[in-house]
Structure 1
Amino acid sequence: MFDVEEFVAACRGALEEHTPELAVKELLSSTVARPGEIEAALGTPGEGGISTLHRSDELTIINVIWPPGMTIYPHDHQLWAVIGLYGGQEDNTFFKRNRDGEGLERAGFRELQSEDAINLGRDAIHAVHNPRQMYTGAIHIYGGDFFAKPRSEWADESSPEMPYSVEGAMRAFADANERWLARQQ
C-alpha cells in the first residue's frame, strides 16, 4: 500500500545515491506501477491543482492533478525532476531556447500514460497538456525547493522569457477547473 510518509522517506534516502535523480526515478517507477494504491491513498482525482506532499531545500514532492484539456505554458525548473503518472495522460512538448535568445524552438515530445515515469534534466523546458476528458494524476519530484527556485516561463514559444510565477500557475489550474466544470453543466 502506498504511504506518503514512507514514500517521502524513501525519496530522501535516494538523495544519498551517486545519481539521486536515477534512484528517485527507479523508486517512482515502481510506485506508479501500482496506480490504484496511490489513488487509494491520495484520493480519486476530481479537481485539478497542486498539493505538496513534501517540501525542503533538497527535495519537493507534489501531487499534480491536471484537469481535462488543461495546457500549461512552457517553463523550466532549474532542478532535476522525475514525473510519474498514476492515472490519465500527460503530453510533454520540449523546447530549447532560440539561438538569438528570443523565444523557443521545439525540441521533442513525450506522451506519458498511467504507470510511466520520466526524468527531466535541470535545463529541460517543457509545456504540458492533458489531452483526455478525465483528470490526470501525477507525482512530480524535484531535486530542490520547487516553490522557491527562481526559474522562467514563456507565454508561448514565440514569447520572451519571463520569471516563473507560482501564483500564475495556480491560476492556470483554477481556470482549467472552471472551464471543465462549466462544460459539464
Structure 2
Amino acid sequence: MFDTDQLIADCQAALSDPSPNKAVREVVARAVADPEALMAVLGTPAKGGVHILHRADDLTVLNVLWAPKAVLLPHDHAMWAVIGVYAGREDNILWRRIAGDAAGRIEAAGAKSLAEGETIAFGPEVVHSVINPLSRVTGALHVYGGDFFATPRSEWDPEKLEEGAYDIERVMRAIGG
C-alpha cells in the first residue's frame, strides 16, 4: 500500500546516501511499481497540474499531472532530479550545451521515454524538454534535491535554443493544459 508520508520519509532518509539521486530513484521506483496503490491515494490523473507533496530547502516532492499533449521547453533544474511515471507516458529530449557558445545554446543529445512504472535520475547539469504525447493525462512523481520553486534555473528558447531565465508561471500553465 502506498503511503505519501512514508515516501517523503524515505526520500529524506536517502539524502544522507553518498549518491542521493540514486537512492531516491530506488524509493520512487518502488512507489511507481504499483500504480494502482499509488492512485488509490493520489487519485487517478484526470486534470493537468502540479501538486506539492513536500517542499523544503533540501527536497521537493511533486505529483506532476501532465495535460494531454503538454510540451515543456528545454530546461535545467540546477539540482538532481528523479522522475517516476505511474500513469501514461513522458517523453524526454535530452540536450547538451554547445561548448564555447556565447548565447548558451544547446543541441539535442538523445531521448528517453518513460512509460508507466519507469524511473530516471538526472544530475544537476542535465537539460531536457518534456512532452506528454498522449491524449490523456500522464501522472508522475518528481523529486528534486532542493527547493524546486526557489532555485534559479534556465530554460531555452524553442526556436533559437538560446538560454534564458526559467519562467515558473509559464511552466505551470504548460503542464496544466
* TM-score normalised per structure 1: 0.91
Correspondence for 1:151: 153
Correspondence for 1:58: 58
Q: Deviations over 1:99-137 (max 9, x none)?
A: 324321001100100000000010000000011111100
Q: Where is the helix percentage greater, Structure 1 or Structure 2?
A: 1
Correspondence for 2:32: 32
**Does residue 17 of structure 1 match 2:17?**
yes
The match for 1:111 among 102, 110, 113 is 113
Which AA in structure 2 matches 1:65?
A: L
Correspondence for 1:169: 171
After TM superposition, list the pairs within 5 Å mapping 1:85-96 onto structure 2: 85-96=85-96
Cα offset, 1:158, TM superposition: 2.0
Distance 1:47 1:76, change over 3 A: same
- Identity across aligned pairs (percent)? 46
5+ residue gaps in structure 2?
A: none
CA contact (8 A) 1:89 1:114 kept: yes
Q: Residues of 2 paired with 1:77 and 1:29: CA distance?
A: 20
Which AA in structure 2 matches 1:107?
A: A
Correspondence for 1:183: none
Q: Deviations over 1:136-172 (max 9, x none)?
A: 0000000000101110011316232111111111122
Which AA in structure 2 matches 1:13?
A: A
Q: Residues of 2 paired with 1:172 and 1:85: CA distance?
A: 18
Q: Residues of 2 paired with 1:110 and 1:78: CA distance?
A: 20
Paired residues, what number? 175
Deviation beyond 3 Å, 4+ runs, structure 1? none
Correspondence for 1:97: 97
User: For structure 1, which segment, 115-124 or 12-21, has the greater mean C-alpha deviation from structure 2 after superposition?
Assistant: 12-21
Q: Residues of 1 paired with 2:102 and 2:22: CA distance?
A: 31
Distance 1:157 1:109, change over 3 A: farther
CA contact (8 A) 1:104 1:157 kept: no
* TM-score normalised per structure 2: 0.95
5+ residue gaps in structure 1?
A: 177-185
CA contact (8 A) 1:64 1:140 kept: yes
RMSD, aligned CA: 1.1
